Amino acid sequence: MASTRSIARLLNHVSQHSATCPCHTTHHAASTPAALSQLRRYATPVDNKEYAFEVAASNLRFGSNVTSEVGYDLSNMKARKVGVFTDVNLASLHPMKATLASLDVQPDLPFEVMALPAGEPTEESWASAIEWARTHDFSHFLAVGGGSVIDTAKAANLFTVFKEAQLMDFVNAPVGKGLPVTQPLRPLIAIPTTAGTGSETTGAAIFDVTSRSFKTGIANRALKPVLGIVDTQNTATCPREVHISAGLDVLFHSLESYTAIPYTKRTRPSNPILRPAYQGSNPVADVFSFWALQTTVKYLPRVAKNTDDDEARRQMLLAASFAGIGFGNAGVHLCHGMSYPISGLNKKGPKYKHPGYLNPQPIIPHGISVAITGPAVFQFTAPSSPDRHRQVLAVFNNTSPSDPSITRIPDSEIGAHVYDTIARFLDGLGVPRGLKALGYTTADIPMLVEGTIPQRRVLDLAPGIGDVVDEDGREHLTKMLEQSLEY
Amino acid sequence: MASTRSIARLLNHVSQHSATCPCHTTHHAASTPAALSQLRRYATPVDNKEYAFEVAASNLRFGSNVTSEVGYDLSNMKARKVGVFTDVNLASLHPMKATLASLDVQPDLPFEVMALPAGEPTEESWASAIEWARTHDFSHFLAVGGGSVIDTAKAANLFTVFKEAQLMDFVNAPVGKGLPVTQPLRPLIAIPTTAGTGSETTGAAIFDVTSRSFKTGIANRALKPVLGIVDTQNTATCPREVHISAGLDVLFHSLESYTAIPYTKRTRPSNPILRPAYQGSNPVADVFSFWALQTTVKYLPRVAKNTDDDEARRQMLLAASFAGIGFGNAGVHLCHGMSYPISGLNKKGPKYKHPGYLNPQPIIPHGISVAITGPAVFQFTAPSSPDRHRQVLAVFNNTSPSDPSITRIPDSEIGAHVYDTIARFLDGLGVPRGLKALGYTTADIPMLVEGTIPQRRVLDLAPGIGDVVDEDGREHLTKMLEQSLEY
């Protein structure tokens, strides 16, 4: 399968690095003390490498029953006509009822509602949402739902402003053209109903390219909502399984963004508008991601135990938004990259249907598809930044990174410890124990690898993976998927 | 001096609280364990109390030499005509040179430059900046400078959009009318040249009402810049004294916002547009404020020791922006409230001139005027939240709040420890040791108290102070100022 070009690259790569297996690389200065390593991580870059990072986040409003304010907001913004997006399951539930009540009491606030089909968005569902929004030429957008609904509203907004554009024009390269967004979009308000995607604060919008059996999307900070209304009442009716899957998304947003390659390793853009939303880890995203990690490890098990635990639900909503700010500016990497074919191929392949999800179609919920490779991924990434992985280990073990139980682990063994710790945490939440439990077999792995390769947007941020077009990139992915078959 | 009304209020107050002196109040459950106390701090409010909080921040871009990107940004935004604000001292220095070079290379990017007078803004300097901006009808605003310059650009932007408005229309009540800002302003980009005010990420704009000898301002999230360009090269030429004063502003932004009354103690607004930018402490601002506190305590002494310490300068810039996000959403209280008359009355009174400042006029730099009451203020506020003050103490002592050296201090003694610790820290930075060192005497205290009383915007957020129109509020202020005379 290796082309001449990829062989040439591989040779070049080997000549530059004495050991290409990340388990044996030493150029991250594993023996350096933590503080110095931290300092070096963001040292001044050389040549054409990136020298700056940006931090963007939506305005956020947190509170119980704060959904009831959205009518005032749209009125204050002098909305001419509002496009309200939700889904068929939510249409009759509290969050949507509270939204409509709030819109109804405002004089002169015309709005239209679209209830999207249940499940994750596809190019077809996006196309019909876009057509509907273009027809109405909404001045303002409002999304009430999980990531699927909010992401669809972002796409509808984008393609209402860019009336003539094709869906693939803005989709991340190389799947789409990845064009820059050169005009401001219309105001979008997002009201999340799960503590998961953090989509209320990011410029990311993901959909399922069913024709190619994987998910991809648009990641551009122009898409981010102007306001996220985070109402602690809106997750009260979530089934336990939705809480867990959404919470796992938060967990891996924080873990992946905290361990992504440093922003200084990317190439510098020629114009700041070309700086990607997913920039690699940076000192500001680190604060958000690490806070979200600590909070999720503490409170997600409490929500899983008792979905009526108000304090835990509130903290998970905060963590979801914080992780959104973290990964929205730093990016995600391998778990998300591999999750797209894992969930995308399910419809044709194993047809796994997760308990607790209402829609009749097969579904591997996003959080589950992300978590399933978690242990193997962080075992793989550990050598790239042993100190960060030691900090992660300390969070899961509820101790300090300076505790002897953590410091005495040699760098070479951190990965194995992280593998065990994450696997135990997932097991405690009832996550299926590997790809086999979802119905995949060893024979499916090459297909999952090929489905991951086009996710360059996120794979480029993965430490230690190298160029995934190369054989060694494929080898790494294959090995991680094999290690994720069962545990 | 007490009116009938204030006596009636005082009696009412006394009847509700068995002990009104904050040193003796117990309703903050001093003996409760830290975790439970934290939980209760943001417990669901009752009656008409606030139930939500908002988080707003500018997009921020951090990096070395990132000023050179601003021309691209304004070009990408299709600016018709840019109003560039700086001050006479900066006009010939690196940050402004880099800005002009970046604007000059862009084709079709018309701009005009105003170099403001040195020193802090007054109603006169604002009036001429506003007149200039209205005449040019700028489509975009750019501020290159410290807080004074950025704040002036915010005001110029506001009053360009509200062409007919009077200066006092939007100034915080009761000094001004405190009207809501009902239209979006024009895009403002801020390039800070000090690690201090955090003005690049807040909606606050402060000026000196010389006719009344105190400072006040406008605090409205509509004013916040769309982008803050935080360039680590731009503080390289700051004199040591400017670094210290600006850094003290960061320190007290973080300390005051972390200890401000919880947002749930405010009254709920009837429309979200009326929710103030300064909302009281809240879980999100807490994360920012506490991070900024830790960073400032660690790095400000390093900058003071060696202004060429790049790492320390970079961390202080991050801390300034983080503290800006913290206080921009939570607010500040007593140190800032009293600082306004302390610096405002200096021109008529002691005419103190701080070393290291270039302008010939008397000046108590903002950070110095804020810091001077710091030890007394946090001794006063400690009983309102002993656990938070214990955390503060731990940060200054470079230890954990669970360290026995911290936990063994009884609640009643936290305040005294905080007083000593902050005083020692300030002394280490060479801050004048009290109001007497600035030229004030005991006889000036009533005047300083009366100058503080109108600062309701911030005094309302002070824990334990009560209603400052009452005698007991005045008494508290008097006592804190007396304790700040010398130490």
In a domain, residue A294? The reply is: yes
Contact A273 B76 (CB under 8 A): yes
Report residue B406's pLDDT band, with 50, 70 and 90 as the boundaries. Answer: very high
Distance between CA atoms of B469 and B129, rounded to whole angstroms?
34
Distance between CA atoms of A67 and A245, rounded to whole angstroms?
23
Report residue A15's pLDDT band, with 50, 70 and 90 as the boundaries. Answer: very low
Distance between CA atoms of B353 and A71, rounded to whole angstroms?
52
Q: Are residues A152 and A300 in the same domain?
A: no
Contact A69 B272 (CB under 8 A): yes
Is the pLDDT confidence value at B206 over 50? Answer: yes
Residue B366 forms contact with A (CB below 8 Å): no
Q: What's the number of CA atoms in the CB half-sphere (13 Å) around residue A416?
A: 6
* pLDDT at site B5: 41
Nearest C-alpha of chain B: how many angstroms from A250? 17
Q: Are residues B175 and B162 in the same domain?
A: yes
pLDDT in tens, A62-112: 999 999 999 999 999 999 999 999 999 999 999 999 999 999 999 999 999
Is the pLDDT confidence value at B313 over 50? Answer: yes
Residues B98-104, mean pLDDT to the nearest whole number: 97
Distance between CA atoms of A343 and B452, rounded to whole angstroms?
61
Distance between CA atoms of B346 and B343, rounded to whole angstroms?
5
Q: Are strands B214-219 and B204-209 parallel, antiparallel or unpaired?
A: antiparallel
Indicate the residue among B206, B236, B266 that finishes a domain: B236
In a domain, residue B11? The reply is: no
Residue B272 forms contact with A (CB below 8 Å): yes
Q: What's the number of CA atoms in the CB half-sphere (13 Å) around residue B239?
A: 12
Contact assessment for residue A428 and residue A301, using Cβ atoms and an 8 Å cutoff: yes
In a domain, residue B137? The reply is: yes
Q: Enter the tokens of residue B312.
A: 């320390």
Q: Enter the tokens of residue A161.
A: 């402003």
- B16: CB partners within 8 A, 6+ apart: none
Indicate the residue among B204, B236, B268 that finishes a domain: B236
* pLDDT at site A57: 86
Q: Are residues A234 and A246 in the same domain?
A: no
How does DSSP classify residue B439?
Answer: T
In a domain, residue B140? The reply is: yes
Distance between CA atoms of A324 and A337, rounded to whole angstroms?
17
Q: Are residues B222 and B303 in the same domain?
A: no
Contact assessment for residue B376 and residue B23, using Cβ atoms and an 8 Å cutoff: no
* pLDDT at site B39: 53
pLDDT in tens, B64-92: 999 999 999 999 999 999 999 999 999 99
Report residue B471's pLDDT band, with 50, 70 and 90 as the boundaries. Answer: confident
Q: Are residues A181 and A294 in the same domain?
A: no
Q: Are strands A204-209 and B52-55 parallel, antiparallel or unpaired?
A: unpaired
Distance between CA atoms of A62 and A313, rounded to whole angstroms?
12
In a domain, residue B10? The reply is: no
In a domain, residue A14? The reply is: no
Distance between CA atoms of B485 and B487, rounded to whole angstroms?
7
Residues A231-238, mean pLDDT to the nearest whole number: 93
pTM exceeding 0.90: no
Which range of A270-274, B346-350, B397-401, B478-482 scores highest in mean pLDDT? It is: B478-482
Q: Are residues B146 and B228 in the same domain?
A: yes
Q: Are residues A135 and A266 in the same domain?
A: no
Q: Give A59's contacts in chain B (Cβ within 8 Å).
A: 54-56, 221
Q: State residue A252 phi and psi, 5-degree precision.
A: -85, -25
* pLDDT at site A7: 35
Q: How many domains does chain A have?
A: 2
- Residue in B44, B54, B73 closest to A59 by CB: B54
Residues A471-481, mean pLDDT to the nearest whole number: 92
Report residue A210's pLDDT band, with 50, 70 and 90 as the boundaries. Answer: confident
Q: Are residues B427 and B367 in the same domain?
A: yes
In a domain, residue A2? The reply is: no
Q: Are residues A235 and A343 in the same domain?
A: no
Would you list the DSSP string of A328-356?
HHH---HHHHHHHHHHHTTTTTT--B-TT
In a domain, residue B3? The reply is: no
| ipTM of this complex prediction, to 2 decimal places | 0.86
Alpha helices in A27-146 (DSSP H): 34-41, 70-76, 94-104, 123-136
Residue B162 forms contact with A (CB below 8 Å): no
Would you list the DSSP string of B347-392?
TTTT--B-TT--SSS-B--HHHHHHTTHHHHHHHHGGG-HHHHHHH
Report residue A1's pLDDT band, with 50, 70 and 90 as the boundaries. Answer: very low
* Range(s) of the domain holding residue B204: 59-236
Which stretch of A272-281, A431-440, B158-167 has the lowest confidence by average pLDDT? A272-281
Q: Are residues B357 and B215 in the same domain?
A: no
Q: Are residues B63 and B178 in the same domain?
A: yes
* pLDDT at site A469: 64
Indicate the residue among B201, B217, B236 that finishes a domain: B236
CATH number for the domain harbouring residue A183: 3.40.50.1970
Q: How many CB atoms lie within 10 A of CB A14?
A: 12
Chain mean pLDDT for chain B: 89
Q: Give B64's contacts in chain A (Cβ within 8 Å).
A: 44, 51-52
CATH number for the domain harbouring residue B312: 1.20.1090.10
Nearest C-alpha of chain B: how many angstroms from A439? 41
Would you list the DSSP string of B29-94?
-TTS-HHHHHHHHTPPP-TTB--EEEE---EEEEETTGGGGHHHHHHHTT-S-EEEEEETTGGGSH
Q: Are residues B156 and B202 in the same domain?
A: yes
Report residue A216's pLDDT band, with 50, 70 and 90 as the boundaries. Answer: confident
